[in-house]
């Protein structure tokens, strides 16, 4: 499974809704909120073997699937 597909799967599992397009806002769409962000981050850490620092828990970094993918690439 490629990275974007895995990210999409995690978002859908955390939100229990179908993920939007890769450039659509996850927060503006109501798919995710500040309560769901830590759950999503934990799943991303486990799936991709990275550690996301608390200082990076900013909704802007995780606002779209594309941004999440770019951010994860910067950690690897």
Q: What is the mean pLDDT of residues 3-8?
A: 96
Report the 10 Å Cβ neighbour count for 34.
Answer: 9
C-beta of residue 12 within 8 angstroms of C-beta of residue 58: no
Q: What is the pLDDT of residues 61-75, one digit of tens each?
A: 999 999 999 999 999
- Indicate the burial class of 46 (C-beta count within 10 angstroms; 0-12, 13-18, 19 or more): exposed
What is the DSSP secondary structure assignment for residue 16, as one 8-state letter?
A: S
Mean pLDDT value across the chain: 94
> Mean pLDDT throughout 9-24?
94
pLDDT at 1 over 80: no
The pLDDT of residue 76:
79
Percentage of the chain with pLDDT > 70?
100
Q: Given this structure, which CATH class describes domain 3-75? A: mainly alpha
Domain coordinates in residue numbering, the chain: 3-75
Q: Where are the alpha helices (DSSP H) in the chain?
A: 3-15, 37-48, 65-75
């Amino acid at each position: 499974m490629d990275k974007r597909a895995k990210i999409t799967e995690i978002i859908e599992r955390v939100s229990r809704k179908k993920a939007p397009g890769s450039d659509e806002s996850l927060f503006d769409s109501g798919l995710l909120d500040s309560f769901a962000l830590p759950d999503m981050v934990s799943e991303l850490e486990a799936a991709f073997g990275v550690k996301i620092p608390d200082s990076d828990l900013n909704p802007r970094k995780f606002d779209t699937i594309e941004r999440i993918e770019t951010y994860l690439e910067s950690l690897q």
